[in-house]
Amino acid sequence: MKNSEIFRTIKSLLGSLVAFALTWFFNMPLPMIILIPIAVYAGVYMISKPVIKIGSLRLSDVEGEEMKSLMKDAYEDLEILDKTGKKIQDGTVRELASELYQSGISIFEHLQKNPEKIGLARRFINYYLDTAAGLLGKYQKLIFSRVRGESVEKAKTDIVSGLTILTRAFDQQYERLMQGEIMDITTDVKVLEQTLRSEE
């Protein structure tokens, strides 16, 4: 059981105990003494449920079970990039992790505004994002293992190379998703230039 789940349960139990004590103190009928604490427990438990967000997108707002599963996986990977990246001492790796996290958030905010493009991002979510989180996790394990040697140093270098490649992949994915907007801007500028020329 996760810490957040334990705290949620404890808050709910405390709320129901307070409700029980109050109903007992005010000499309420036995059914009320039983039902009110149960209702308080359920209410506090539901209210204290954490809201999972990717950028400004609430996971509960995503439609379709497959899409919710996809977005949940992405959330977990982004959380790994953020939390693990902040713990890493090496400035280069920490910067790469931060860059990947920020790019990932930008992509998901774009997908929130343009849900019709989610299909285009499936490979990004299932492969690139998952690979980035995996590489960062492996890097952290290597660091904490405190094993030294040529093969470990080579593995660290390979992970940095992989993260660098992934930053380009994230940028390309974002550019691909933004293609329609980029074309609109180009068209607007051309129309503006033509309008200006016709007025001269």
* Domain shared by 38 and 123, yes or no: no
pTM: 0.60
Reading the block at residue 23, the tokens are: 């109903």
Shared domain check, 179 and 88: yes
30 and 64 share a domain?
no
Can you give the residue range of the structural domain that contains 42?
3-47
- Say if residue 16 is in the same domain as residue 87: no
Question: Domain with 102 in it: what CATH number?
Answer: 1.20.5
Q: Is residue 194 part of a domain?
A: no
Task: Indicate whether 108 and 29 sit together in one domain.
Answer: no
- Provide the domain count of the chain: 2
If asked whether residues 42 and 57 sit together in one domain, one would say: no
How confident is the model at residue 75, as a pLDDT?
A: 83
Question: 86 with 167, same domain?
Answer: yes
The verdict on 58 and 118 lying in the same domain is yes
Q: Is residue 198 part of a domain?
A: no
In this structure, the answer to whether residues 125 and 62 fall within a common structural domain is yes
Residues 41 and 78 both lie in one domain: no
CA 144-146-148 angle, 5° bins: 140
- Is 22 contained in some domain? yes
pLDDT at position 138: 92
Give a yes or no: residue 193 inside a domain: no
Q: Does residue 15 sit in the same domain as residue 94?
A: no
Q: What is the C-alpha to C-alpha distance for residues 87 and 96, in angstroms, rounded to an integer?
A: 13
Each residue's pLDDT expressed in tens, for the chain with a length of 200 residues:
566 778 788 888 888 888 888 888 888 888 888 888 888 888 888 887 765 555 554 555 555 666 667 777 888 899 999 999 999 999 999 999 999 999 998 888 887 777 777 777 878 888 999 999 999 999 999 888 878 888 888 988 999 999 999 999 999 988 888 887 777 787 777 877 888 788 77
Does 91 lie in the same domain as 145? yes
pLDDT for res 15: 86
Give domain status of residue 195, yes or no: no
Give phi and psi for 20, each to the nearest 5: -60, -45
Confirm whether 25 is domain-assigned: yes
| Inside any domain, residue 158 | yes
